Structure 1
Amino acid sequence: MGVGMQITYLGFAGSARIEAEAGAQLVRLERFREYLSGCHLAVEAIRNGPFHGKPAGLLYDARLDLITRTNDLIAVEHCLNEDPGIALRAAFDAAERRLEQTLRRQRS
């Protein structure tokens, strides 16, 4: 049984491109399937005012909550970027690091 994922979009309707990227990134967590039962991904569009001479625009905040097989929740750090794909990849990078650390501690 694989790792399931629920996606929530905040501040925008989402897109097929973001869902495809999220699905591709979820594959990276499959190696933790004996430990994880699922994850919740939230992608939020945040209006960004002018900053250091750059015009106003959007930032995307991607964050993951991982659910273990024992129903514990592991919150992963927020990842911000102007490109939602980069924010997603960074969130899954952080999730992998967090899971590796957690499992290393449990084995010690």
Structure 2
Amino acid sequence: MIVDLRIYTTLPNRLPEFVALYEAKAWPLQLKYLENCLGWYTTVEGELNTVVHMWGYADQGDRERRRAAMAADPAWGDYLREAGERGLLIRMQNRILKPTAFFEARRAGR
């Protein structure tokens, strides 16, 4: 399993607008294509105006297939266009994570 960790930072006071747009237009598509959301959060302390979400995949190939299918959906392009036109984001970060062996062993033992 790998985890796609995404961290998005909005302009000050624009976080609620970004979250509302995402929930209405992107969330249904990501659930349809990506399926395995491990968490979707906003910060309350630390770097503010930040969204963190994580998606689980079997492997990098699984991630690439799912994201390519989503990217091919015209509704995804519509969402990206609208998000860009609103100018809500100032930074987007993406990290691919893999679990350590001891964590995997713990999960397997449950």
Q: TM-score, normalised by structure 1?
A: 0.29
Structure (1/2) with the larger helix percentage: 2
Structure of higher RCO (CA pairs closer than 8 Å, 6+ residues apart): 2
